[in-house]
Structure 1
Amino acid sequence: MLDFLTQNRVEIVERCRLRVAGRRAPKATGHELERGIPLFLDQLIETLRLRLASNPDLAGAATQHGGNLMSEGFTVAQVVHDYGDLCQAVADLAVERGAPIEPEDFRTLTRCLDDAIADAVTEFFRLHEIDRTTEDRERQGIFAHELRNLLNSASLAFDVLKSGRVGANGATGGVLERSLTGLRSLIERSLTEVRLEAGIVQRERIDVRRLLEEIEVTASLGANAKGVAFSVELPATNELAVEADPQLLSALVINLVQNAVKFTHPAGHVAVSARATPERVLLDVADECGGLPPGAAESLFRPFQQGGKDRSGLGLGLTIARRSVEASGGEIRVRDVPGTGCVFTVELPRAP
């Protein structure tokens, strides 16, 4: 069996590629066809060689194979289906060559396939848990760091105000106000993430016009404090209603507006607008941050990524925003306007 696989490697790879390419689900990718199939076969050959030699390195090699597959970006579904297609390609070729696989050889082959799949899946989930634990610890550490900074700023400002040496309407009062606003945003963002993790999503009909009018009041105060103009533009007649979770949608829009104000240059302008198509409602939040660095738009929605020089904040807001939109059946995207700013667009299903 080992000789058959080694001598017919090229033919087996091509046959397996044809089977995988014609598969309905999971849909084959170019990387899977070009890189994945040969890699799967080579790992199968190595596993078979070690098993036949009763080599004690078999377990370690299998674990390494699983890690290699994950690092290549293959999913569990791709691994399981591709190994199955590989087995079928081997069996078909053996029959056509008049060299049917003996029962004992076939049992050995299937055991190797089973072991390869099981070890790959086990390693996938082990590495996934490591990544998740590392990310959770990093998130908690950054959360605690920002919480401490905001509390320190608020406490210092309050102590100065309490002494009576300055008035509440001056710069110190502004520091206290910004610190409290930051604390509220931090807590709201954390609560939103908890709801998403728990799968607590309750869709209902939401009047977007009313939602934006309510947000406009508080958003204008924050923008004015920074010297940024803020406006909301709504169509005169169209009814703007969506099917979404009200708490998630409100937190989403507030987060986008706060980000826009935060990164917009003083004397700049943040504009929120809404429009409707027969099936969707689109919300645009346009800022004047000056534009994104090259390639930043693609990574902006990843955890711990930020697009501006101001590094305060968790870098999680846009990641949570995307999850909030997707939980309501919508999508979010960003368009860079070089030299001017960014336009974030939220698309949600229109309510009947």
Structure 2
Amino acid sequence: MLKQNLSPDLTPLRHAHRLATLYSYEILDTQRESVFDDITRMASTICRTPIASITLIDAERQWFKSEIGLGKSQTPISASICAHVVLENDVLVIADTSADRRFGGNPLYTGDPDLKFYAGAPITTADGVTLGTMCVLDTVSRSLTQEQIDMLRMLARQVMMHLELRRMLRLSEKTSDYRARMLASAAHDLRQPLFVASLSVQSLLQEAAPHQLKRLTLANGGLETIKKGFNRMLIAASGHASFTLAELDDTDLGDVLEFIHANFLPLAERKDIRLSVLRTRLHVHSDAVQLETLIGNLVANAVKYTEAGGRVVVGCRRHADHVALHIIDTGIGMASESVNTLFEAFRQGDAQSEGLGLGLWIAKRTAEALGVSVQIHSVPGRGTHFILSLPLKASTEPSSEPIVQVR
């Protein structure tokens, strides 16, 4: 007969400081996000378990930011093994829950789905507050290798870093801190491929021949140095010091569009999409680098959501006091409710698509810094039309350059 479930003292979990820290990330009860789902899939694959989750421990419940194989969004804290991890703030591996008297009466481990194996690594802030766990589970008794346990720790750290990035972006929305936005942009573009590269190098180190060890060790050290640099960037970005955009000046829009065409043509061709960028002699009052970032994010989005055989057209037209830049695609389009939330952080047109859902958030903030207004017209199944109103350089001569229509 199974022994009674010995529930731990949950008082520390309900400590005001721990809960306030958890709530400061504004993560509970949010929608699924692909970056967290990707980490959960990695944990399941690496540990070869059918079940994995990113679990956050609230006062009376454990809530799953991401899960595979559980089919639940939350469970009572009384049924939580993850609570033990948070209390102990260390990796916990239970090879057979049926042989552990702490879980003898736990419904998760005595009935459907009759879980037998558990391993969890704490998700802990820089100042030592444990928010939850990165955990894997199975319906059979088993164990993990030391390498799998180390990887589980690494994935827990990645969850924490993405929570920090997420909070920083929310903070920058409220404070209009431009420096935080630009550093978030760098993290968005570079952290995920860096993480994949680091995992790959560490995996190769386990099987490397003696003559390869030196180079791989150097490569791993270099990646660690870069990751530490990113950590410093995130810490710096979480402050409130101001960052001033370079002074706006005469910007050759033709040069900017030439860069956009050269940069995105290979991607469009790989997808069998016709990318047309109209030449122009117009100049605007802007910053070339940031304008390339703004237009590039919108063109990238257009190519991403346009099917093979479709078109993306970029062109501009002079008006009395501004230049209207049009980005038109024949992609999947959006319903009006999606248009209204398009520029929010971590939103994506397709939940299965790659990336963090930050590209258009960055585009909006860059547009604000440049004094550019953005209009969106979209029809589901027919495509999307972005119109950017760029401040006109005072000396620009009138132009009859037409905007091409996509038919």
More helix by share: 1
More strand by share: 2
TM-score range, shorter chain: 0.3 to 0.5
TM-score of the aligned structures, taking structure 1 as reference length: 0.46
